[in-house]
Structure 1
Amino acid sequence: MELRQIQYFVAVAEELHFGRAAQRLHIGQPAVSQQVRRLERELRTQLFDRSSRTVTLTAAGQALLPEGRELLKALDSFAAKAQRLAAQKDATFRVGISSALGERLDDFLDALPGAGSGTRFEFQTLAAHNRLEEVRAGRLDAAFVRGVESAPGLRLLTLWHDPLVAALPAAHPLSGRESLNLADLAGVPLRIAARAENPVLHDAVVAACRKAGFEPTFGAPFTGFQDTLAEIGASGDGWTLMYPTAADTVSSRRIALLPLDGEPITMRMFLALPENADPMRLELLTETAARVRRKTMGSV
């Protein structure tokens, strides 16, 4: 049995005419008749009742027609997927990232399944809101982003949850501890992004402070990790919160980094994709995101 025989059978069954089926298939009518008869011999059953005037399906032909259509549909899907894979093989993913991904980016690349082998990536370091806009505009294929819970026009794949760590001056009396209770920081000026800039982070930190029994005292606005940490270290006052991957890049002896006791304050990292992302890319990145989650869930 050959797939072309199934194709010819379906064409004749739908046209109920060997000549019209041949025209539709762009081949000669004798070839269609020959292959359908060969298929009938292979199946040991008659598919059509033929007369000089009409062609009709037998009961067996009627029963097998849906299966034949499904086979051809699967063949089309197989061929289309193969074409997309071939096109993707030499494709480049343009991905927006933050400057503080650290080894998490390695976790993502290590999690790519076999279908992603050979995929090339171009990374651009941009501010979070710029990353999202670049994905919407089609200038980026995807972007790593925190501090959002929804993004109109984009699909968000959860990658991991990061527990925040406290950064305070090394000269501060609390810096010698192995960890901090959030309540210990009551009254110490908090350096954090304004709510308008990062509402998810701002609300999560304020809620955690209130749960610990105090209203945070806000210091100067957070202006960036390097600037803010330099100012905290130089002044000997204030505190902020950092992602673990960013904390790994801190080498200043004027800054102490301490984990928080109790329930951690966590922020979720997403991979943002266009809502109408190419199905093959969506499949590849969805599987990658699931692998990353499985690997990192033990560190949440």
Structure 2
Amino acid sequence: MSDVEVRQLRYFVAVAEELHFGRAAVRLGMAQPPLSRAIRELERHLGVQLLERTTRQVALTPAGAGLLRDARTALDAVEAATQRARNAGRTEPALRVALKADFDAGLLPRILDEYRRDPAALPVEVLLGGRGEQVTALRAGRADVALLPTPFDERGLDFEALMTEPRMAALSASDPLAARTELCLADLAGRTLPNGDPADRETRNFLPPARQLDLAQIFNLIELGSMVLFTPVSVADRHQRPTIAYRPVRDLAPTTLMVAWPQQSHSPAVAAFVRVCGTVAATIFPPLTSQNSVTSAV
């Protein structure tokens, strides 16, 4: 890393993602002046300007954008190496499965039941997290395998499709749109999704919102008419409320539930889990042609 310290990269990534020194300092648990000095020191060391600073905003220069991309990769590699070393030293190995609560299409209990019968199975630790945290956990070595909906950042991961299902719009039962039996995206103009995107121009970007909300919080905001949510049918079925209306949106893309794992994984326990995921999904839903083959990657 050209004698650049991991600490400096962490500082830079925080500032580059927040684009605000104050928020980055709070995120890092430090005061703002030493953070500013550390970034200036990094710029002097590299001989390039990484950030454009004005009294109103902070912006990345082209050099800063490039370093942000590479710094994330480097930090992920460092964290993953550290975590793998810790895992290797554990006296009781386990398979760590990451997912967002309820975003398993109801498959996880059956998957776990079948997996326990496999000769290669390990005890399972389920790691619940917010939307988008599963990919980070895989790259950082905190999880061995994940169940997650599309889209997600596929870099460095192998994955297999399990099932595809439509998504519906969850909106307040008092919303005038709730009187309709079907919607289109254009009908949702003026309404906002939990990540801040306009509901009628959903981008489905990979980044989770800056402040993660759980489903209970999101539903409370929907009830108040503050936002709408696009959710898989399986999640809508689990969370029926008289104050929430679920309506199909005819031009809303469906979502596919995937099982994903790091490309460098050669774990028999991961391979067994992926096989079981495919078998269980195929008994409930029509088989899908996977984008990657488990036998070629694990």
TM-score of the superposed pair, with normalisation by structure 1: 0.51
Q: Distance in 2 between matches of 1:181 and 1:299?
A: 29
Structure 1 residues 182 and 281, CA gap change in structure 2 (3 angstroms):
same
Consecutive unaligned residues in structure 2, runs of 5 or more: 1-91, 206-210, 289-298
Give the root-mean-square deviation of aligned CA atoms: 3.5
Give the corresponding residue for 2:269: 281
Give the corresponding residue for 1:15: none
Which protein has the larger Cα radius of gyration, Structure 1 or Structure 2?
A: 1
Give the corresponding residue for 2:285: 297
From 242, 257, 260, the counterpart of 2:246: 257
From 73, 95, 98, the counterpart of 1:96: 98
Task: Indicate conservation of the 8 Å contact 1:192/1:241, yes or no.
Answer: no
From 271, 289, 292, the counterpart of 2:259: 271
What amino acid sits opposite 1:203 in the alignment? T
Structure 1 residues 121 and 289, CA gap change in structure 2 (3 angstroms):
same
Q: Distance in 2 between matches of 1:289 and 1:124?
A: 17
Task: Indicate conservation of the 8 Å contact 2:184/2:251, yes or no.
Answer: no
Give the corresponding residue for 2:203: 203
Matched, 1:145 2:183: no
Structure 1 residues 222 and 115, CA gap change in structure 2 (3 angstroms):
closer
SS at match of 2:115: coil
Give the corresponding residue for 1:240: 229
Give the corresponding residue for 1:59: none
Matched, 1:230 2:232: no
From 142, 152, 167, the counterpart of 2:170: 167
Structure 1 residues 229 and 111, CA gap change in structure 2 (3 angstroms):
same
What amino acid sits opposite 1:96 in the alignment? A
- What's the offset of the Cα at 1:246? 2.8
The 5 Å alignment of 1:1-300 reads 91-101=93-103, 103-112=106-115, 114-115=117-118, 119-177=122-180, 179-182=181-184, 185-187=187-189, 189-194=191-196, 202-203=202-203, 223-235=213-225, 238-260=227-249, 262=250, 265-298=253-286
More helix as a share of residues: 1
Task: Indicate conservation of the 8 Å contact 1:113/1:284, yes or no.
Answer: no
Count of residues in correspondence between the two structures:
188
Structure 1 residues 107 and 164, CA gap change in structure 2 (3 angstroms):
farther
- What's the offset of the Cα at 1:120? 2.2
CA offset digits 1:26-80 (Å, max 9, x no partner): xxxxxxxxxxxxxxxxxxxxxxxxxxxxxxxxxxxxxxxxxxxxxxxxxxxxxxx
Q: Distance in 1 between matches of 2:242 and 2:191?
A: 20
Q: Distance in 2 between matches of 1:292 and 1:264?
A: 27
TM-score of the superposed pair, with normalisation by structure 2: 0.51
SS at match of 2:234: helix
Structure 1 residues 180 and 272, CA gap change in structure 2 (3 angstroms):
same
Give the corresponding residue for 2:30: none
SS at match of 2:161: strand
What amino acid sits opposite 1:245 in the alignment? S
SS at match of 1:156: strand
Structure 1 residues 128 and 287, CA gap change in structure 2 (3 angstroms):
same
- What's the offset of the Cα at 1:91? 4.8
- What's the offset of the Cα at 1:122? 0.9
Consecutive unaligned residues in structure 1, runs of 5 or more: 1-89, 196-200, 206-220
Task: Indicate conservation of the 8 Å contact 1:143/1:272, yes or no.
Answer: yes
